Amino acid sequence: MMMNRRFLADANELCRLDVGELTAGFSSGKFTPLEVAQATLARAEQVQERFNAFSLIDVDAALAMAKESTARWRSSAPLSGIDGVPTTIKDIVWVKGRAVRYGSRTTSSTPCTLDAPSVKRLRAAGAVLIGLTTTPEFGWKAITDSPLTGVTRNPWNPKMTPGGSSGGAVVAAATGAGVLHIGTDGGGSIRVPSSLTGVVGLKPTFGRVAAYPPSAFGTVAHIGPIGRSAEDAAAMLGVMAGRDIDDWNQGVGELPPLVLREDVLKDAQIGLWTPYGVVDSEVAAVVAKAVTLLDDLGAHVEPIELPGEDLGETFRVHWYSWSRQPLCSGAADLGHLCDPGFVAVAEAGARILASALVAAQLRRAAFGAAMDKLLTKLDFIVSPATAIPAFEVGPEIPSDVILDWGINAGSFAFPINLSQQPAVSTPCGLTAAGLPIGLQFVGARGADAKVLSAARDFERASP
């Protein structure tokens, strides 16, 4: 589903094309990767001025990569199906030769000496890396502002937040400042902003995409693709995915290949995840219409409740405990330079007892096993991607919402980080004020292709 976006319509035509359209144009000679890169870089400058989505627009490097891609396409020797496609990297994932700052004034401006595995794979596939996108400090919250880069704004309404922590990535995706975008998701940081800006974002099965260096947020932290369609996200994931020996957390098993299938919603058994926390009335109404569409597509949808107890507390203990790590690893005397909210969470994490963390880890293991069992009976779980639509920049949660972000607006995201299944947010409608609402599909671990196929089927059927 491609919603009508004024802010995308004013982009150069080359910036509005998807992966398939770009590679078809490269192959036929209708246009070149260099021409697309030039248009995308110009668009990125416009987007940066309006919405502050980038911490770096890497003009010289992007043009050099695009020239090399152009030569390959002219020789009919592209490296992959995304060769020449403009791509951004969240400023939390290492890029060789660039200073990755994690949105923090406490980090080093020394360039990284190597690429993270996902970036290495994208580079080897010929993707044109146009820059780094904004994040809150160390990706700690579900909105995007930081002491280093300031406030990132939602292109649907610049008074509103795009969510976070992959806020710059989703803004770049929505506005045509790149086609493929790396995000990270430790508690909803891909799916929440994708929902609030009307793009597609996948948190893959944990281990599908290798991570190095390891995240301070441990095994709830995932790296995944963001784009304007499920097919683009799938094309990106197919390149990023795979084993990397530097990622010890990844394990040695092989996950099923990424092949999208047709009509996966027909006769699918779907559990409708009932509200956990407070759901905005407009979100509930739009998601109810989406469920009707799933019925029309032949799915069998029944309400369910997720297994497990104290999920909010279980996640809080994990997240707060790990939030202390960045300050313990060299920035402790620089806390005055940090986001006060991040410092408060890190200090709360320092007070969590080891026994409480162990108890939370045991609850998490029981919940993860119960989710695996549930998804042997169901093809998918669906839910709102977020419980509320976008709200004004500034606060971490709207003043009229009583519960905090972790157990309210992100309540449909963080449990799936605990259990590590693939989950995608895809647009399903708009509020009366014209703000996007996302629908989340969750599948069994390893079923990333099936989840993306469901999102694609839903996109095609949506008005």
Active site residues: 90, 165, 189
Are 190 and 201 spatial neighbours (Cβ–Cβ below 8 Å)? yes
Closest to 192 in 3D by CA, of 461, 453, 388, 355: 388
Contact criterion met (CB below 8 Å) for 390 and 161: yes
Compute how many other C-beta atoms are within 10 angstroms of the C-beta atom of residue 347.
14
What would you measure as the largest C-alpha separation in the chain, in angstroms? 63
Interior CA angle at 388 toward 392 and 135, to 5°? 55
How far apart CA 308 and CA 312 sit, in angstroms, is 10
Query: Which tokens sit at 401?
Result: 């919402």
Residue 374 tokens, joined? 């549930």
**Residue 35 to residues 82, 85, 131, 440: CA-CA distances in angstroms?**
15, 11, 17, 35
H/E stretch holding 439 reads: strand 436-442
Nearest to 19 by CA among 261, 265, 226: 226
Please check whether residue 88 is in contact with residue 169, taking contact to mean a CB–CB distance below 8 angstroms: yes
DSSP string, 306-356: ---S-HHHHHHHHHHHHHTHHIIIIIGGGGGGS-HHHHHHHHHHHTS-HHH
Q: How far is CA 33 from CA 96, 129, 235, in A?
A: 22, 12, 17
Tokens matching residue 269: 């058994």
Degrees to nearest 5, angle at CA 164 with 463 and 403: 95
d(CA 318, CA 356): 10
Rounded Cα distance, 392 and 370, in Å:
37
Q: Give the burial class of 330: count Cβ atoms within 10 A of its Cβ; 0-12 exposed, 13-18 middle, 19 or more buried.
A: exposed
Task: Report which residue type is found at 28.
Answer: S
For residue 79, the SS3 value is: coil
